[in-house]
Structure 1
Amino acid sequence: MQITTFFMFEGKAEEAMNFYISIFDKSEITSISRYGANEAGAEGSVKHAIFTLNGQEFMCIDSFVNHGFTFTPSISLYVTCDTEEEIDRAFEKLSRDGSILMPLAPYPFSKKFGWVADRFGVTWQLSLIS
């Protein structure tokens, strides 16, 4: 059994994947299929893609249906960072054009922690482990 996180975007899947792989080391788009002419989705948009962030696999699509919902902070990606440089860089990039839910700071449960919603609406909790 394998459990993989799946993201549904509306026309922003490839942009989001490229954004995420630019932030985390050992990350890449491993496969991508696109809608062709006369298919349900917009031609060239992502029908299905697989990408990795620091070696962990994720899937995504561009939905051709306009939904009345998007991502919510009630579920987020939790990232443990090994260095201050790593957490500072990820927090800065993920929060740019997004929103800060908890500022990057020391908290009773973490030496340094921050929670952001990125420009696509995906939420990330970042914690320094050392």
Structure 2
Amino acid sequence: MTDAKPFLMFEGRAEEALDFYVATIPESRIEHIDRYGAGEPGPEGSVRLARAVVAGLPILASDSFVHHGFTFTPSISFMLGCKDEDELDRLTAALAEGGGVLMAPGNYGFSRKFAWVNDRFGFSWQVNLP
């Protein structure tokens, strides 16, 4: 069976990012982490492939041991639907800490409240209260 999952590639911070997402976002968990061992291409102990769930969405993540001339871009983001304004404010503040705000929390006409932020790992999040 063919399937598709978002794949997040980090350069050495995959487990740190996943731990942060699990601690911050409801319905998130790490399901499995496969690590590089001694003598393998990646640094020993780094994430070869992780399977996780973020806000109910199955994802994959890894630490690339090859430096790339690119990173995450806001053109691909996760959108989090919030149950109330308090949750939106909490998630927006937590995700933006050490990152940045692309669109400050507000009413932009398409929902009651919306924000768009980059987290400290460079990944982009849209936080929405429909």
Name the TM tier (shorter chain): over 0.9
Q: Pairwise mapping of residues 33-112 of structure 1 onto structure 2 (< 5 A)?
A: 33-112=34-113
Instruction: Tell me if structure 1 keeps the 8 A contact 2:51–2:60.
Output: yes
User: Deviation of residue 26 (structure 1)?
Assistant: 2.0
Which range moves more in the overlay, 46-55 or 62-71? 46-55
Mapped to 2, the partners of 1:69 and 1:19 lie a distance apart of 22
Residue of structure 2 equivalent to 1:118: 119
TM-score by length of structure 1 reads: 0.96
Per-residue Cα deviation, 1:24-65 (whole angstroms, up to 9, x for no partner):
112110010100011100000000000111222110000010
Give the residue type in structure 2 aligned to 1:61.
S
Mapped to 2, the partners of 1:26 and 1:94 lie a distance apart of 16
Mapped to 2, the partners of 1:77 and 1:24 lie a distance apart of 12
Which structure 2 residue ranges, 5 or more long, are not aligned?
none
Mapped to 2, the partners of 1:103 and 1:69 lie a distance apart of 25
Instruction: Tell me if structure 1 keeps the 8 A contact 2:55–2:80.
Output: no
Mapped to 1, the partners of 2:30 and 2:39 lie a distance apart of 25
Per-residue Cα deviation, 1:61-115 (whole angstroms, up to 9, x for no partner):
0001000100001111111111112111110100000010000111111110000
Mapped to 2, the partners of 1:79 and 1:26 lie a distance apart of 11
The number of residue pairs the alignment matches comes to 129
Mapped to 2, the partners of 1:76 and 1:5 lie a distance apart of 10
Is the partner of 1:3 in helix, strand or coil?
A: coil
Mapped to 2, the partners of 1:24 and 1:16 lie a distance apart of 12
Show structure 1 runs of 4+ deviating over 6 A. Answer: none
Mapped to 2, the partners of 1:69 and 1:39 lie a distance apart of 24
**Percent identity over the alignment?**
49
TM-score by length of structure 2 reads: 0.96
Which structure 1 residue ranges, 5 or more long, are not aligned?
none
